[in-house]
Amino acid sequence: MNVMTQVHPFLDGKTKRMLIGGKWLEAASGKTFETRNPATGEILAHVAEGDAEDIDRAVAAAREAFNGPWSKFKPAQRQALLLKLADLVEENIEEFAALDTLDMGAPISRTRGNKARAVGMLRFYAGMATALHGETINNSLPGEIVSFTLKEPVGVVGAIIPWNGPLTAAIWKIGPALATGCTVVLKPAEEAPLTPLRLGELCLEAGVPPGVVNVVPGFGETAGAALASHPDVDKVAFTGSHVTGQSIIRASAGNLKRVSLELGGKSPDIVFADADLSQAVPGSGMAVFANSGQICSAGTRLFVEKKIYDEFVSRVADFSKTLRVGNGADPETQVGPLVSQEQMTRVSSYLNIGRQEGARPLSGGERLTDGDMAKGFFVPPTVFADVRDDMRIAQEEIFGPVISAIPFTDVEEVIERGNKTQFGLGSGVWTRDVGKAHKLARAIRAGSVWINCYQAMDPAVPFGGYKMSGYGRESGVQHLEEYLNVKAVWIKTD
């Protein structure tokens, strides 16, 4: 497949404008920024650079829509819009896959593979649109007093998403907003804004009323900060780093807006000697190497039982060397580039830190610069052995294809050490022992525990974190609750 041909209608050389109130507008300042292909360094498009004034315009449009026509849409009407949007995304999935590959570098095999998840999420939210309801509560007051609850949309949602999965991240915010009757101002990551803008086009094509979905690309310190602190935004839904999450909490204090945060991780992936190693080797490897390690719940702390440590870590390193690194547009590529020069610099610094701290690289460990790779931001899958818990590469989120392999002796020890991190997003356990699996599932302080698998995701299953990995959930019934207020109603009937 010629990826550029697939996306040619969207990459037409024109500046990509922002969606506000159903109209495609230039930035109020007239500024634009470049978005580049991380595999080649080539400019893909110039994009309108939103700032505080554009956020003001978008929030006003979202508020007008929320108070106006959108408030009169019945659940079945919202459901129909979501189903139409799901159909359109499915029809255009090749274009979305190619855009994501070009804009943030993920292999085309991975971005094509997002079809089931992206479309499935929209259809799940569509189903939930007609299933949301309050409840009648038997109170204990004297007399005839009926009490019940109503579920009502929270209002205008400010959604700020990362660059590591532009299509699914955008749907994770837009889907629940449409299902619950909220309106949304979406701020895509400046590194990968193209897919969210294209999704905005399909929202209009699906019949979403003007102002219900607004897309304002820009930078975090300007557009993102303005959205987080805006006094007429009722809720912020953010996915990104814990440092930015902390700043969003502070910015939200002005009007005590609701906040949900899906933040970073340093997830333990625990391999016992009784595990099926034929599954655990590739499974634990791809728990980190998928998407070039740019996944918040990646299992980057690989705890391996001491009796199989040398063999297992050696096999993971050998597996990492079999993975094909290259331009994501090549269907044979398994590991693409990092998203930007900034991210490559960050990951490279951690490779140096690991060696300085005494860790031993068994594979990878250096940026790839051969041939065309010199033009892009390529770091190969890397496995560090001889890692200690106190090393920075064992405690800090690298967000690159880097495994820190750590030996352990017994169950109680690995539970304590696995939990000894500020994060709590994901975790993995590889064992044939059912009792051991259940014990770890309860003991690990993380929002997801994958047993004999990793990164399994489904629209009906909640995803989120403990501790510095944030609060609130995405996917599942719990996700919709984040976008709803609960109102108690009392009626005296006697």
Q: Which residues of the chain have pLDDT under 70?
A: 1-8
Distance of CA 221 to the CA centre of its chain: 20
Number of domains in the chain: 2
Both 170 and 231 in one domain: the answer is yes
Mean pLDDT across the chain? 96
Both 283 and 327 in one domain: the answer is yes
Give the pair of three-digit tokens for residue 349: 């610094």
**Annotated active-site residue in 49, 190, 191, 262:** 262
**Annotated active-site residue in 49, 95, 182, 296:** 296
Both 275 and 253 in one domain: the answer is no
Does residue 158 form part of some domain?
yes
Does residue 426 form part of some domain?
yes
Does residue 463 form part of some domain?
no
Nearest-angstrom CA–CA distance, 122 and 87: 9
Residue 262 falls in the annotated catalytic set: yes
Q: In 3D, which of 164, 237, 254 has the Cα closest to residue 472?
A: 237
Does residue 442 form part of some domain?
yes
Does residue 464 form part of some domain?
no
Both 232 and 360 in one domain: the answer is no
Burial of 482 (0-12, 13-18, 19+ CB in 10 A): buried
**CATH code of the domain covering residue 327:** 3.40.309.10
Nearest-angstrom CA–CA distance, 112 and 93: 7
Does residue 194 form part of some domain?
yes
Both 401 and 278 in one domain: the answer is yes
C-beta separation of 393 from 387 below 8 A: yes
| pLDDT value, residue 193 | 98
Both 325 and 383 in one domain: the answer is yes
Give the contacts of 428 (CB within 8 A, at least 6 positions apart).
267, 268, 269, 270, 283, 284, 287, 299, 449, 450, 451, 453, 454
Nearest-angstrom CA–CA distance, 249 and 256: 9
Give the contacts of 207 (CB within 8 A, at least 6 positions apart).
81, 84
pTM score, two decimals?
A: 0.95
Both 337 and 439 in one domain: the answer is yes
Give the pair of three-digit tokens for residue 484: 């709803």
Does residue 494 form part of some domain?
no
Both 312 and 211 in one domain: the answer is no
C-alpha dihedral, 397 to 402 to 408 to 413, nearest 10° = 20
**CATH code of the domain covering residue 136:** 3.40.605.10
Give the contacts of 65 (CB within 8 A, at least 6 positions apart).
21, 183, 209, 210, 211, 212
C-beta separation of 233 from 257 below 8 A: yes
pLDDT tens-digit readout, 68-122: 999 999 999 999 999 999 999 999 999 999 999 999 999 999 999 999 999 999 9
Both 132 and 222 in one domain: the answer is yes
| pLDDT value, residue 168 | 97
Both 437 and 481 in one domain: the answer is no
Does residue 245 form part of some domain?
yes
Domain ranges, residue 358: 268-458
| pLDDT value, residue 3 | 52
Both 209 and 273 in one domain: the answer is no
Report the SS3 class of residue 406.
strand
Both 343 and 217 in one domain: the answer is no
Residue 203 falls in the annotated catalytic set: no
| pLDDT value, residue 494 | 86
